[in-house]
Amino acid sequence: MRSEIFSSGIELATLVTSSILLRKSWDVISSDHEDIISYKGEGLSWKLYKESHSDLNIIAFEATFDSSKLSGDLVPSSEKFLHFDFLCTEINQIFSINRTALSLFHKNHQRLDQLKCYEINSSSRLIVTGHGLGGSVASLFTISLLDSVWLGKNRPLCITFGSPLIGDKNLQQAISRSPIWNSCFLDVVSVKDPLPRLFIANHTYMPFGTFLFCSDINSVCFENPDNVLELLIAMDSTRDQNQGFKSANYGNIVKNLNHKTISNDFITVAGNMTRPESNSVLASSISLQLGTLGLTPHMQVEQPQQNIDIITLEGKMIKLEQKFIYQKKVMFSPSKKLNLIKRDMVQLEWYKKGGKNRGIGYYDSYKRNVSILDHDVVKFIKNLTYYWKSMVEEAKIMPQKGSAGFRKSWLYAGTSYRRMVEPLVIAEYYSNGGKDYMTKNRPKHFVLLEEWFWNEMTRARTRYVEAMLTLDFGTLINNMILSRQQTMVYEEMEDYLLSDDENYEDISKYPSFFCVVDDQIRLSSKELNVVEENEENVSNSYFEALVDECIHSPRKGSVMEGNNIKGFGSRVDQAILSRQGSFGSKGRKQNVESILTTDSCFWAHVEEALLLCKELKATEENEETMQKLVKFEKYVYELLENYEV
């Protein structure tokens, strides 16, 4: 049975208005707190309040510019914004911000940078607030914090009162792509305040964050930016044309809503609850929320001069909310989809094993495409490719500092996918007469997955070097062993660590180092329970022998003589792999045959070498072709030496 979906805007509004944070924020704006430090800037002022009995800091911005004269001009990010370039991604390269708000921020950016560096810190709770145009600057200041140290546990919360929209849809997408960033913004808007609706006629402005819409007696929250925009348009259609730009009294609104929430003194005006809808629960909740703000079909009958169709508005908002809830569910649990897609990887593993049983490699089998299995496996490849392409696109869109990428669980899963599937993509490409796969036709998502993987390995290498410099060898070896168990991806770092002649003498000075290694390797042998029962005794004995060799052999003679420590990393690898059932009686060859080739483009190199051989046979000896083949030979031999193919 499919569960019903609903909108919880009334409940969320009750939670927000019951909090004292709204009142605290407004009190700082109106200078009702003592011990407020005031700062004067160019066209802008701000106040800093540090609560004495807690770690709460509140910064309130106020603009001296007349808000009624605000321009709707937008400035594109192609003009090289200060502080906001981190929002640009490969797909979302340009976004736009209101010129007036951005100008105020940039005129005062040096003093605001000092405020960030010397007056506030990420270990304290921070509220950034402002009214009207001051709220717009508060939003920009908060965005600038998202790219700094403010990514820890205490993220800033931006609370604005009656502020106009500050950017276009691309800015909204840049913020909303990160649910954590989006949750940092709360906009309080009175249904009678004209300023938040100032730029909706522009059709390019778009809201982001959560909006708390307030009437005289009630409030309701909306998170869907499309529904927020629809409500702003509806509110503009119902406003009193003689009101001008008279701002709402947010101090009284916040105080009254807080009192009504505590006393549970709410009046809910329901809309037409009898209309059939595709989802009755969602339709009812949307109708209740609009009724809470006084937007009901009864209002349309009593005030026919109002240019708004409430029934049409409800229907549109229901559809937009359905789409928004679905998108949130997909974003909320991406790991569930990852677990499901791994079933297709298992199918490819069986396909690979089946090819081996038939005496043919899975690359050659797929390229020849003569077996029923070769046809059946196509759908699994398509499913995996569609999933990982979409995941890479999401990662590219996600705003973040530095190069985009995944968390480690996705990164390692994506690496396994790349090493398993790309050879099959190469097989199909060259079977259709392709050429120069790596330089001209390699899919972009494979390139990015590989780039992000090696970026992570570089960071891992840096961590190992730092550990080595602190002589924390116990942690070093522990991490090495755990990485071997999980990913087999730290080979280069171990070679670097254990083959550097300058480090031999330093290592030998720490006798406890070998004891730690001994303990960690033996502990790992107890934790790895992946050996077949009939192989356990053989494999365990081989493991123990290798452990004894790699632990005790450095003690037998001078460390500076021979290559005892130099070969330590490879012997640890053998010991762990033997415990995993890959060594022992079956030997090293079986282990190499069972792995995925480290370089997922290996077969493209092979295909290009075959084409070079044909070219060499068809023509006289060509020095350039020969050099390419010699280079290929060295490349393959290196992989063979490292047991990576």
For residue 33, what pLDDT band results from cuts at 50, 70 and 90? low
Residue 488 pLDDT > 70, yes or no? no
Of the listed ranges 79-88, 105-114, 438-447, 584-593, the one predicted with least confidence: 584-593
Count of Cβ atoms closer than 10 Å to residue 53 Cβ:
5
DSSP code, position 195: G
Cβ neighbours, 10 Å, residue 461? 16
Average pLDDT over residues 403-431: 84
Full DSSP string of 401-417:
SSS----HHHHHHHHHH
Give the relative orientation of helices 511-527 and 536-556 as an angle to the nearest 10 degrees: 170
Single-letter amino acid, residue 113: D
CA–CA separation, 17 vs 185, rounded Å? 15
Q: What is the mean pLDDT of the chain?
A: 76
Structure tokens belonging to residue 51: 């609560």
pLDDT at position 93:
82
What confidence score (pLDDT) does residue 243 get?
A: 56
Question: What number is the average pLDDT over the span 77-88?
Answer: 82
Please state the rounded mean pLDDT for residues 193-213: 91
Position with higher pLDDT, 550 vs 120: 120
Order of strands across the sheet that contains 125-131: 36-40, 44-50, 56-63, 125-131, 157-161, 185-190, 210-214, 219-222
Is 60 exceeded by the pLDDT of residue 580? no
pLDDT at residue number 76: 92
pTM: 0.65
What separation in angstroms does the CA of 435 have from each of 411, 431, 611, 634?
29, 10, 9, 21
Residue type, 178: S
Task: Identify the burial level of 156 via C-beta atoms within 10 angstroms of its C-beta, where 0-12 means exposed, 13-18 middle and 19 or more buried.
Answer: buried
Cα dihedral sign for 497, 501, 507, 513?
positive
Across 151-167, average pLDDT: 86
Q: Which tokens hold the place of 418?
A: 């790349």
- How many whole angstroms separate alpha carbon 587 and alpha carbon 594? 12
Which tens digit of pLDDT belongs to each residue from 525-567?
A: 433 333 333 334 444 444 445 444 544 444 444 333 334 444 4
Length of the chain: 645
pLDDT > 70 fraction of the chain, expressed in percent and rounded: 68
Strand 44-50 vs strand 210-214: parallel, antiparallel, or unpaired? unpaired
According to the model, what pLDDT value does residue 475 have? Answer: 58
Pairing between β-strand 36-40 and β-strand 44-50 as defined by DSSP bridges: antiparallel
How far is 135 from 100, CA to CA, in rounded Å?
13
Amino acid 514: pLDDT: 40
pLDDT at 581 over 80: no
- Distance, CA of 566 to CA of 559 (rounded, Å): 10
Provide the pLDDT confidence category of residue 261 given band limits of 50, 70 and 90: confident
Nearest CA among 538, 522, 638 for reference residue 572:
522
Q: Which pLDDT does position 473 carry in this prediction?
A: 52
- Please determine, for residue 400, whether its predicted confidence score (pLDDT) is greater than 60: no
Q: Quick one: 44 exposed, middle or buried, by C-beta within 10 A (0-12, 13-18, 19+)?
A: buried
φ/ψ bin of 359: left (φ > 0), alpha (ψ from -120 to 50), beta (otherwise): left
Query: Phi, psi at residue 158, to the nearest 5°?
Result: -100, 120
Tell me the percentage of the chain whose pLDDT exceeds 90: 29
Average pLDDT rounded to a whole number, residues 123-144: 92
More confidently predicted of 242 and 202: 202
Give dist(CA 191, CA 214) in Å, integer. 6
What is the DSSP code (8-state) at residue 49? E
Residues 6+ apart with CB under 8 A from 175: 87, 143, 181, 182, 185, 208, 209, 399
Confidence of residue 578 (pLDDT cuts 50, 70, 90): very low
Across 110-114, 415-419, 426-430, 516-520, least confident range: 516-520
How confident is the model over 613-625, as a mean pLDDT?
81
Question: Could you tell me how many helices (H) and strands (E) the chain has, helices first?
Answer: 26, 10
Mean pLDDT for the stretch of residues 26-51: 88
> What whole-number distance in Å separates Cα of residue 580 and Cα of residue 586?
12
Work out the pLDDT band at 292, boundaries 50, 70, 90: confident
Asked if the model's pLDDT at residue 341 lies above 90, the reply is no
- The distance from CA 363 to its chain's CA centroid, rounded to whole angstroms, is 33
Tell me how far apart the alpha carbons of residues 280 and 275 are, in angstroms, rounded to a whole number.
9
Res. 418 pLDDT band, cuts 50 70 90: very high
Greater model confidence, 497 or 264: 264
40 bridge partner residues: 45
Q: What is the pLDDT of residue 151?
A: 54
Task: Please say whether the beta carbons of 477 and 520 come within 8 A.
Answer: yes
pLDDT confidence of residue 543: 45
Confidence of residue 245 (pLDDT cuts 50, 70, 90): low
**Cβ-contact 414, 391 below 8 angstroms:** yes
What was the pLDDT predicted at 8? 83
CA end-to-end distance (rounded Å), the chain: 49
What SS3 class is residue 310?
helix
3-state secondary structure of 544: helix
Query: Residue 337: what pLDDT?
Result: 77
pLDDT surpassing 70 at residue 253: yes
For residue 75, what are the contacts with CB-CB under 8 A and spacing of at least 6? 81, 96, 97, 98, 99, 102
Say yes or no to pLDDT of 204 above 60: yes
pLDDT reading at 237 higher than 90? no
Biggest distance spanned by C-alpha atoms of the chain: 100
156 vs 87: CA distance, rounded Å: 17
Give the best-scoring range by mean pLDDT among 71-75, 145-149, 587-591: 71-75
Cα-based distances in Å from 98 to 131, 140, 216, 410, 558: 16, 10, 30, 37, 71
Residues with Cβ < 8 Å from 551, sequence gap 6 or more? 514, 517, 518, 521
Is pLDDT larger for residue 203 or for residue 470?
203
Given the structure tokens 């060295």, which residue do they identify? Answer: 634
Alpha carbon distance 271, 196 (integer Å): 25
Classify the C-alpha dihedral 546-548-551-552 as positive or negative.
negative
